[in-house]
A and B are shown apart, each in its own frame.
Chain A
Amino acid sequence: MSLLRMVRLPPVKPQQLLLPSAPPVCAARRTVIQGEYRRPGQPKDDTPAWMKIKFDFSKGVEGIKKHFMLLRREFLDRWVGPEGKPIIEHMLEQNRLIWEFRGPESLEEWTVSSDREIGGQSEVYLKLGRNSNTCFLYGTLCSTPPKDGETRYSGYCSMRSKQQLASFDRKKHFDWSSFNTLHLRIRGDGRPWMINIAAETYFSHQKDDVYSYFLYTRGGPYWQEVKIPFSKFFLTHRGRIQDNQHPLWLDKVNTIGFTLGDKADGPFQLEIDYVGVCKDYAHTEDFAYEVYKRNPEV
C-alpha cells in the first residue's frame, strides 16, 4: 500500500525534498561526494567551464611575459642551489621567514573572507599597521545566522594566504619538512583565533582537509611571540574534527590561514609582524594525538 502511494506522487524531485543543501548533522567522516558551497535558494551555476575563461589578447601577452620570467627564474635557481639558495645555507638553515609585512605589496599575498558569502553580517578588512610594517586585520564579528532557513551558524572572519603559483599556473608548495615549529609574532585583543594549515592532498575529497590549532592572544600593547609545534595540529574537515587523525605532512604545504569565530559579537583586531617556521630541538613529539586507535574507538 505504501508503495502504491509512493508511485502516485507527482514527480517533484523527491531527492531535493529529502536532502537539504546543508550537510547532515552527524558527519565526522568525509563524505565522498562534495560540491562547492552554494547558498540556499541560489540557483545552480550552469554556465559551461569554457565561458568563464577570459580569452583576451592583452592577458595573453602579459601571461607570456610573466610565465616565462617565472620559468627562467626556476631554471636559473637550480644552478644556485635548492630554492635559489646556496646549498650550505640551505643545509644549515635553522629558521625561515615565510611572510613578513613590509609594504603594501606584501598584503597582495593574502585574502580575507568573512561570513558575508554565506549571508552573514561580519566585516573584515586588511591594512598595513601604523608604521606600515605590520599587517593589521580588523573588522567586526556578527554571529547572527542568515535567515535562509537552513544555515544554523554564522560569524567568522578569516585571512588566508594565497596559493603560490609557479610558471604556467602550476601549484608551488612550501617545503617545511626540516622545521618543526611555527613561529609568529602577533598582537591581538584577547580573542582566541584558529590557525589553519592546508597541505596538498592526493584525493579530491580531501581538498577541504585542514590542519588546525588555536592561537590565543593576550591582548594589550605588547607584542607576543608564539611558537606552535606542528605536531599539535589536528585534522579537520569543513569545520569538524575528524575521528582518524593524521600528522601534518610538511613537505607540501599550500596555505596558512587565521580564523576568528568565538561568537563574541563586536570589533576585533589582530596585528601580525611576521610568520616564520623554525627548528626547535627541544621538541621531539611527532604527533600529539593518538593515531594507533580511532577516536572514539569502534
Chain B
Amino acid sequence: MRCVRCLLRLQSLGVRGPSGRPGPQYAALLQPASSPPQGQVLRHFHGSPACAKRPVPADFFDEGEGKKDKSLVTHDDLFERVARDAKTKATFNKVLDVFTKKDIRRRGHVEFIYAALKKMPEFGVERDLAVYNKLLDVFPKEVFVPRNFIQRMFNHYPRQQECGVQVLEQMENYGIMPNVETKVLLVQIFGEKSHPMRKYQRIMYWFPKFKHLNPFPVPLQLPEDPVDLARLSLTRIADDLDAKVTVYQMPSTDITEAGEEITLPHIVGIQSPDQIELLAKHNPSRPVFVEGPFPLWLRKTCVYYYILRADPAPLEEKTEEPYDPERCFDYPLQLNLELSRDLGDDESFDVDDLDEGPVFAMCMTGRGDQATLNQWISGLQQNNPILGQIPTLFRLDAGPRELQSVADSDPGHGYRTGPQSEAQDGAEPSPEAEPDIIVEEEPRRSQGMKQ
C-alpha cells in the first residue's frame, strides 16, 4: 500500500520534470522500456563534469545486456571477458565505461569497484591517477550525501563509504597522490565530512611531508640498460663524489669460428682516489679478497655487487702518518684548537671501533663467476700496479639466481664456485667459459700469484 503510494507520488514528480531531485531516477524506474534519448539525459545527471563520457562500442553493450538475466554475475567475469586479448589501460577504461553505461542505477557498483581494485595490477594501471578518478566516478553522485544532521551523525551508507576509503587506500599503498578532481568527486559522492573525504585529507596532509624524506633517492624509472643501472647503483653505494666509474667490458654477443655463441657479461667497476691510495699502501704479503655477491635494493629491483677488500692490518703494522704540512699551503690540514665548552663535552660514543678492513674497489657484473671477476681485477691493475704482487683470493657465495635472470640473458652459465668455496687459485682461468679473453690477461695474473 505504502509502496504504491510512494511510487505514484514519484511518478507525479517525474512528470513535473527535473525540478524534483530524486524524480528523474525513479521516473526511469517506472518506465523501464522507455526511449533511449531520455536515458542519455539522465546519465548526464549522474555523471560528473570531470570525466567526459566517450561513446562505448556496441559489442560491449550487447555482452552486458546478455548477462543481465543471470542472477549471480561476478564482476571479475566482466573484466575477464573484455581482457581476453590484451590487458591494457584502454581495455580497463572500456570495462568501466561498459559498467557505467549498462545500468542507470549503477546496481552493484560497490562489488564492481572492489573487483576493479583487485584487477588493477593485472591491467598495469595501479599507478594511474586518472584511472582511480574514473573508478571513483562509478559511484552515483549525490545519493550518499547525508542530508540532515541525524544522517551525518550516524554512518551514512557505510558500505559505500568503506568502498570509497578502500579506493583511496589502494592509491595510498601505491603512493599515488590524489588531485583536485578526486576531491571534487568525493565531495559530490559522499559529501564534505564523510570518511572517504577524511581519508583524502589525511593523504593530502601526510604525503607531502614524507615525499622527499629519503636522503638517498632512487629514481622512479630505473634505467633499462644494465650498464647504466650498474653505474647508478655503484655511484650510490660508493658515497664519494671523486669516485670514478670504469666500464671494463660492455655486454656483447660473439660467435666464434666453431659456431658457439659466447655472451660477454658487462663489468662495471668503481674506485675513488682514496681507495687507490689505500691499495697502494697495502702490504703486498697480505692477500686481498674478492667477495660477493652482496644485494642492493633499488625500490623493487635487486642488483648484486662485488667488493675487493682486505682484512684489517694487524696492530704492529698500523702507523699513524702525520700530515705533510707542505701538502697544502693555502690552509692547514690539521687544526688543534681547544674548543671544548664544558667539563663533560665529549660527543663521541664509547664504543670499540669496528675495524673490518679497507674496501678497495667495487664492481657489478652480469655474471658472477671467477673468470669474469678475474677480468675486473686485471682491469684494475692498470691503475693499481701493486695488484700484480698481491695474492687475490676469491670468496664467492653461491649467488642468488635472480642475478642471472635480471642482468644476464644467458642462463646456461651458472656459478662455478660452490657455496662458500674459497678458490685459492685466483689465476686459474675457466677454459670452457671465455678462452679467448682470459688468454691475454693470463700471464700478468699468474705472475702475480706465484709470488
Contacts and interface: CB of A to CB of B under 8 A. Distances in A.
Given A220-B239, A241-B206, A189 B295 contact: yes
A26 B216 contact: no
Main secondary structure of the interface of A (DSSP, over half): loop
Contact of B344 (A26, A94, A217): A94
A183 B162 contact: no
Contacts of A274: 349, 351
Contacts of A191: 297
A229 to B, nearest CB: 13
Contact of B215 (A100, A216, A222, A298): A216
Interface residues of A, number: 49
A138 to B, nearest CB: 10
Contact of B350 (A92, A97, A266, A296): A97
Contacts of B298: 190
Interface in A59-98: 89, 91-95, 97
Contacts of B295: 189, 266-269
B346 interface: yes
B139 to A, nearest CB: 16
A95 B347 contact: yes
Nearest to A241: B206
B351 A131 contact: no
Interface stretch (B29-37, B43-51, B127-135, B193-201): B193-201
Interface string B207-243: 0011001111010000000000000010011110000
A264 interface: yes
Contacts of B237: 190, 218-222
B166 A189 contact: no
Contacts of A125: none
B297 A94 contact: no
Given A25-B165, A133-B352, A273-B351, A189 B202 contact: no
Main secondary structure of the interface of B (DSSP, over half): mixed
Contact of B169 (A25, A97, A273, A298): A25
Interface string A119-147: 00000000000110110000000000000
Interface in A256-292: 263-264, 266-269, 273-274, 276, 278, 289
A267 B297 CA distance: 10
Contacts, number: 127
A153 B169 CA distance: 12
B445 interface: no
A28 B198 contact: yes
Interface stretch (B277-285, B301-309, B319-327, B423-431): B301-309
B149 interface: no
Contacts of B42: none
B343 interface: yes
Contact of A216 (B169, B216, B402): B216
Interface of A: 24-26, 28, 89, 91-95, 97, 100, 102, 130-131, 133-134, 153, 183, 189-192, 214, 216-223, 241, 243, 263-264, 266-269, 273-274, 276, 278, 289, 295-298
Given A92-B342, A97-B349, 8 more contacts: A25-B166, A26-B198, A191-B297, A192-B214, A216-B214, A268-B295, A278-B349, A295-B201
27 contacts: A28-B198, A91-B344, A92-B343, A95-B349, A97-B350, A102-B352, A131-B354, A134-B354, A190-B216, A190-B218, A190-B237, A214-B210, A214-B213, A216-B215, A219-B233, A219-B237, A220-B237, A220-B239, A241-B206, A263-B300, A267-B295, A267-B400, A273-B351, A274-B349, A289-B209, A296-B204, A298-B193
